[in-house]
Amino acid sequence: MSTFRSIVFSSVIAGFIVGLIVTAAQQFGTVPLILKAEVYEKAAEHKHEAAAPPQAILVHDHAEHDHGAEAWEPRDGLERNLYTAGANILTGIGFALLLCGFFSVRSGATGEPISWHEGLMWGLAGFAVFTIAPGLGLPPELPGVPTAPLLSRQIWWVTAVLATSAGLGLIVFRRSMPAAIAGVVLIMLPHLIGAPELEHVETNVPSSLSHQFVVAVTLTSLVFWSLLGGLTSAAFAYFDRPASA
């Protein structure tokens, strides 16, 4: 029970702190780029409506009105930022629980507490698994950029994450040549299959803006995973001391 309590406390504290820090970083990195892309997206919608016949415009407006009545999204400004912060905190807590599970198994097997630099390495492994590997096939996209169907992208993303984590596990923990070869094959397999993508992509969002967004998301994710690994391991080592004693 004490170990479970240590896992929960460590995850909540680390996830809350990291979620707030990442939210602040997004206000200077990704959020301005998203707002710029939304301007291009709305301009493209207005251009499409202006080029459509009057009857089509009426039908389109009616459909948009019905869709808007069903779909809800937070208002720009404070409300949107609060929902973003809440989502980041919940995401941080969820991944911190995952890390603490690994830390608990690791410390139980070795009998030694987890150090912050070991936690940092676990965080960088999470960055490789959840950001780098799937991002090579499915880079982050701005609003207004057409993408492949959601379900196919989700399936490929999950496949890339599972294959990369299994491959890294074989390389790091098995430490044999056959296991290393199998790990490399697993890591490369989703990319050899190829991520789902559209044959023709037409968008008025500048490619330079998309490139900036990919860089901003990647750097923000690096900050997220680095802080989460270090803070979660430090918090877990602190709360798990009575259980170890």
Q: Which pLDDT score is estimated for 55?
A: 53
Please provide the average confidence, as pLDDT, over all residues in the chain. 85
Q: Which pLDDT score is estimated for 245?
A: 47
- Characterise 187 by phi-psi region: left (phi > 0), alpha (psi -120 to 50), beta (else): alpha
Q: Which pLDDT score is estimated for 239?
A: 86
Q: How long, in residues, is the chain?
A: 245
Q: Is 114 helix (H, G, I), strand (E, B) or coil?
A: coil
Q: What distance in Å separates the CA atoms of residue 75 and residue 80, rounded to the nearest whole number?
A: 6
**18-30 pLDDT, tens per residue?**
999 999 999 999 9
Q: CA–CA distance from 36 to each of 74, 138, 167, 224 (Å)?
A: 18, 21, 38, 24
DSSP character at residue 198: -
For residues 88-108, one letter each, b for 16 or more C-beta atoms within 10 angstroms of the residue's C-beta and e for the rest, the string is bbebbbebbbebbebbbebbe
Question: What's the pTM value of the predicted model, to 2 decimals?
Answer: 0.84
Is residue 144 within 8 A of residue 203, CB to CB? The reply is yes
Q: Which residues of the chain have pLDDT under 50?
A: 56-69, 243-245
Q: What distance in Å separates the CA atoms of residue 195 and residue 161, rounded to the nearest whole number?
A: 13
